[in-house]
């Protein structure tokens, strides 16, 4: 019988916090990369003499190899240990970053980026699993607060850091930045993260391949559709992905009936808080990783600010989010995290609606500080509370699978958000003014967040749903 995630943790609380801080270094740089490198693409195109379409694959290749294997890499943590899988991923990520920094051609750079994305996919699900294994249940909210501050702020700070580095030292320094951070993470994880018992006997290779086909088909279509103009063959790719998804679900149900280890056990989704939390994190991914794009475009092309100045104006969101998230996490340990999540989603919807009104009406851009700060508050409340209530009820043997599913939902949501927003902006520009098109395109985010709010409204406070932690820690 697998031990519940509410069992006494295997290490002291001090050791648990050291482990989390070590893991968060890698979590931050892999998520930072998604928005940081995109800022450098024009400079890469000029330096390496490649086409714009080739430059797009510097980011697209990373995102694909990051998102597609997450269902599998989360389960690998259960099989081989979260510490070992994290270290393997960080080694790959760091070596690939060095290859990117010294890439002589665009082809070499794209290949190195694909390897880097796979390294990120290996390590990214592991911190969430470790949190639920090394922290006592009544301290996981605080730990989730730190995790959420790191995860959410990475996307918010990426354009700022990327713009400063690319505008100063050049694009290669973006990748050189990862080398000392990667070595730091490897050292700290080796020293501070404990080896935890593994609980899965084997990985279903057929299910793994089918899941890769499913996620690849869906993510590739969403990612490339707007750029390619949605040709007929691309709809065929989507159809293959959806059929593979149906087959994957059937394989998981069959494995469960036979009593074998499913890659993504269906019983995960019979845990209500996890089911609703996974759907709601997809809406957060949809919003957070793309909401700044029309705001940045409006500030640069509508108001006439430089890219660096516009990026600095977005700092309040990241600063407020990072500052508040740990406190919100601690609050989730004492209050109902579901209630905090509802307030957070409501606040984020309000912030996005304010963006829509202020930008489309071309109100003086200084007023944007109001939704920028409110977005930071909402970001802090949503991420930590959502993760805390979604993961707390999972038994130990499902933590890796649950983390993989949760992170996949976030990444697929992010890809869908960028694709949908691009289409909305393009349609808007054909029928209205630039400012109005940028503002109204954000109404799409508000609608998606309303769905997210409906999901978190179904949360059942996990203090009522499962017994409190037994006391006692091991040194």
Question: What would the pLDDT profile of 268-306 be if each residue is shown by its tens digit?
Answer: 889 989 999 999 999 998 998 788 878 888 887 888 887
Distance between CA 180 and CA 26 in Å, rounded? 11
Q: What is the pLDDT of residue 453?
A: 96
Which single residue is written with the structure tokens 């940045």?
A: 296
Does the pLDDT value for residue 133 go beyond 90? no
Domain positions in the chain: 13-203+261-462, 204-260
pLDDT for position 110: 92
Q: Mean pLDDT highest for which of 40-54, 92-106, 158-172, 193-207?
A: 92-106
pLDDT at residue 395 tops 70: yes
Over residues 193-199, mean pLDDT? 82
d(CA 346, CA 338): 12
Residue 151 has pLDDT above 70, yes or no: yes
Quote the pLDDT of residue 241: 93
Give the per-residue pLDDT at 370: 94
Tell me the per-residue pLDDT of 167-185, one tens digit each, with 9 for 90 and over: 667 788 889 989 999 999 9
Angstrom distance (rounded) from CA 62 to CA 225: 17
Residue 465: the pLDDT is: 43
79-to-27, 260, 400, 401 alpha-carbon distances in Å: 20, 14, 9, 10
Task: Please determine, for residue 157, whether its predicted confidence score (pLDDT) is greater than 90.
Answer: no
Read off the pLDDT band of 445 (50, 70, 90): very high
Q: What's the CA angle centered on 321, arms 129 and 12, to 5 degrees?
A: 35
Evaluate whether 189 touches 87 at the Cβ level (below 8 Å).
yes
User: Is the pLDDT assigned to residue 463 strictly greater than 60?
Assistant: no
Q: Please write the tens of the pLDDT for every residue from 36-87.
A: 787 777 788 888 876 766 777 888 888 889 888 888 888 888 888 899 999 9
Examine the pLDDT at 4 and tell me if it is beyond 70: no
Asked if residue 405 lies in contact with residue 385, where contact means CB atoms within 8 angstroms, the answer is no
The kind and range of the H/E element at 143 are helix 140-168
Beta partners for 101?
none
Q: Is the dihedral of CA 216, 392, 122, 264 positive or negative?
A: negative
**Quick check: 250 and 359 in contact, CB under 8 A?**
no
Of 103-107, 157-161, 183-187, the poorest mean pLDDT is in 157-161
Mean pLDDT confidence for 321-325: 84
Contacts of 364 (CB under 8 A, 6+ apart): none
Q: Dihedral sign for Cα 227, 71, 32, 358, please.
A: positive
Distance CA 132, CA 395 (A): 9
CATH topology of domain 13-203+261-462: Growth Hormone; Chain: A; (1.20.1250)
User: If pLDDT is split at 50, 70 and 90, which confidence band does 1 have?
Assistant: very low
The one-character DSSP state at 4 is B
b/e per residue 243-265 (b: at least 16 CB within 10 A): ebbebbeebbeebeeeeebbbbb
Closest by Cα among 20, 4, 13 to 135: 13
Taking a C-beta distance cutoff of 8 angstroms, is the pair 105, 161 a contact? no
pLDDT value for 245: 92
- Checking if the pLDDT of 466 tops 50, the result is no
pTM: 0.81
Q: What is the pLDDT of residues 235-255, one digit of tens each?
A: 999 999 999 999 999 998 998
**What is the pLDDT, as a whole number, of residue 469?**
40
Mean pLDDT in residue range 19-47:
83
Q: Which tokens sit at 268? A: 């995960």
Which of 332, 347, 468, 348 minimizes the C-alpha distance to 388? 332
Tell me, what's the pLDDT at 332?
A: 75
pLDDT score for 472: 33
Closest C-alpha among 79, 278, 305, 363 to residue 197: 79
Confidence of residue 452 (pLDDT cuts 50, 70, 90): very high
What is the residue-averaged pLDDT of the chain?
84
C-alpha span between 79 and 92 (Å, rounded):
19
Pick from 278, 234, 294: nearest CA to 412: 278
Mean pLDDT of the 96-105 span: 94
**Structure tokens that stand for 144 in this block:** 């989730």
Q: What angle do CA 237, 251, 61 make, to 5 degrees?
A: 35
Model pLDDT for residues 324-381, shown as the tens digit of each residue: 888 887 887 777 788 899 999 999 999 999 999 999 888 888 899 999 999 999 988 9
**Considering only CA atoms, which of 169, 227, 177, 149 is closest in space to residue 33?**
177
What's residue 467's pLDDT? 39
């Amino acid at each position: 019988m697998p031990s519940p995630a509410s069992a006494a943790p295997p290490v002291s609380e001090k050791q648990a916090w050291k482990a989390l801080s070590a893991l968060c270094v890698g979590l931050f740089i892999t998520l930072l990369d998604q928005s940081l490198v995109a800022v450098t693409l024009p400079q890469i195109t000029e330096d390496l003499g490649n086409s714009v379409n080739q430059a797009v694959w510097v980011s697209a290749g990373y995102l694909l190899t990051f998102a597609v294997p997450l269902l599998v890499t989360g389960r690998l943590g259960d099989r081989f240990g979260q510490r070992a899988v994290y270290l393997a991923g960080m080694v790959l990520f760091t070596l690939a970053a060095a290859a990117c920094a010294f890439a002589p051609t665009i082809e070499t750079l794209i290949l190195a980026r694909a390897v880097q994305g796979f390294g990120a996919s290996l390590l990214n699900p592991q911190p969430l699993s470790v949190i639920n294994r090394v922290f006592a249940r009544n301290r996981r909210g605080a730990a989730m607060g730190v995790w959420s501050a790191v995860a959410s702020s990475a996307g918010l700070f990426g354009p700022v850091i990327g713009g400063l580095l690319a505008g100063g030292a050049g694009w290669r320094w973006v990748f050189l930045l990862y080398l000392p951070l990667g070595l730091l993470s490897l050292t700290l994880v080796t020293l501070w993260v404990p080896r935890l018992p593994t609980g899965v006997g084997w990985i279903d290779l057929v299910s793994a391949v089918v899941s890769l086909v499913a996620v690849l088909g869906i993510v590739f279509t969403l990612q490339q559709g707007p750029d390619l103009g949605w040709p007929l063959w691309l709809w065929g790719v989507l159809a293959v992905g959806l059929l593979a998804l149906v087959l994957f679900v059937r394989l998981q149900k069959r494995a469960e009936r036979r009593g074998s280890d499913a890659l993504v056990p269906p019983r995960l989704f019979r845990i209500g808080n996890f089911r609703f939390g996974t759907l709601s994190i997809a809406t957060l991914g949809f919003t957070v990783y793309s909401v700044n794009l029309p705001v940045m475009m409006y500030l640069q092309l509508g108001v006439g600010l430089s890219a660096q100045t516009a990026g600095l104006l977005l700092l309040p969101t990241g600063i407020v989010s990072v500052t508040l998230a740990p406190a919100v996490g601690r609050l989730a340990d004492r209050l109902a995290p579901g209630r905090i999540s509802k307030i957070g989603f409501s606040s984020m919807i309000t912030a996005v609606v304010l963006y829509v009104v202020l930008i489309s009406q071309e109100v003086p851009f200084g007023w944007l500080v109001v939704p920028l700060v409110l977005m930071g508050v909402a970001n802090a409340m949503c991420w930590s509370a959502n993760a805390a209530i979604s993961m707390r009820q999972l038994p130990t043997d499902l933590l890796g699978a649950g983390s993989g599913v949760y992170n996949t939902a976030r990444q697929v949501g992010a890809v869908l958000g960028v694709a949908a927003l691009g289409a909305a902006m393009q349609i808007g520009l054909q029928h209205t003014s630039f400012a109005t098109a940028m503002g109204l395109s954000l109404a799409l985010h508000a609608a998606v967040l309303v769905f997210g709010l409906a999901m978190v409204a179904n949360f059942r406070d996990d203090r009522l749903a499962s017994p409190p932690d037994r006391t006692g820690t091991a040194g």
